[in-house]
Each structure stands twice: as structure tokens, then as C-alpha cells.
Amino acid sequence: MLNSSKGFTLIELLIVMAILGMLAALVGPKLFNQIGKGRISTAATQMSSMEVALDAYRLDMFKYPSSLEDLLKNSSNSPKWNGPYMKKGIPKDPWGNEYQYKKPGREGRDYDLYSFGADGREGGEKDDADILSWQVN
């Protein structure tokens, strides 16, 4: 009588694992590249929302705020203040760092709003590059 057991041989399992390893090696880097692009897109969207809030503040107060925190509280006790202008607070960038806001901005801009990117420092390349509101919107 033949003992017919069903299952996979060691060779079959090794071949399947090798194929899966090759697929992971090909797809993995592309997937991580998309994650970086997604974070940059998220930062651009968040900065766009902050720009709307900054413009609303300017319409009420006739000037841009001196800091992003002024979008949340009436630090000048002005009766014209109609905030908070950011209902959920000032978000952190997708890497968990604070957004940078300078008033007045450089090169004649009313303000500069930007993120330092993945490394949290000025400058950098690729994912570490600064994300500047005046360049992404």
C-alpha cells in the first residue's frame, strides 16, 4: 500500500520564497518612494490650509499675525479678532516638526511658511529638502 500524503516539498517552498523575495526587492523601493511623496503632498496641503487661515486673519486684523499661535488666540485683545482661525490647532508637519513662519518674508513676500522636511533642518535634498509654501502652491 502506498502512503500518499499531500503537501509541498521543501524545493517547492524554497522556490515560492525566492519568488516572493524577488518581488519584495523590486516593489519595496518604489513603495517607500511613494511614502515620501505622500508626506510632501500632506505638508503642501497643510500649508495651504494655514495660508487660508493667515489670509482670514489678515482680513479681520488688517495685517498678518506675528506668529502662528496668533491664529489660535487673541493675544492682542483686539475686538476685530474673529478666531480661532485654525479650529483644530496648528498641525505639525508630516515628520512631527513645527512649521516655520517668518513675518515679513524674504524677497518681498508678506510672510514665509515652510517645513524643513524629513531631517528637520534647513536645506537638504530629496525627502530632506525644505517644503516652501510659495513653491508648492
97 pLDDT tier (thresholds 50, 70, 90): very high
- Alpha carbon of 130 to those of 26, 43, 68, 70, 95: distances in Å? 29, 10, 19, 24, 12
Q: What is the mean pLDDT of the chain?
A: 87
Lowest mean pLDDT among 50-64, 92-106, 120-134: 120-134
DSSP, res 114: E
Q: Domains, the chain, ranges and CATH?
A: 12-136 (3.30.700.10)
Using alpha carbons, select from 33, 15, 10, 37 the residue that is nearest to residue 117.
Answer: 37
Using alpha carbons, select from 42, 38, 46 the residue that is nearest to residue 86.
Answer: 46
Q: Which pTM value belongs to this model?
A: 0.72
pLDDT digits (tens, 9 = 90+) for 31-88: 776 777 788 889 989 999 999 999 999 999 999 999 999 999 998 889 999 989 999 9
131 beta partners: 115
Using alpha carbons, select from 97, 107, 103 the residue that is nearest to residue 57.
Answer: 103
Cα–Cα dist 46/93, whole Å? 8
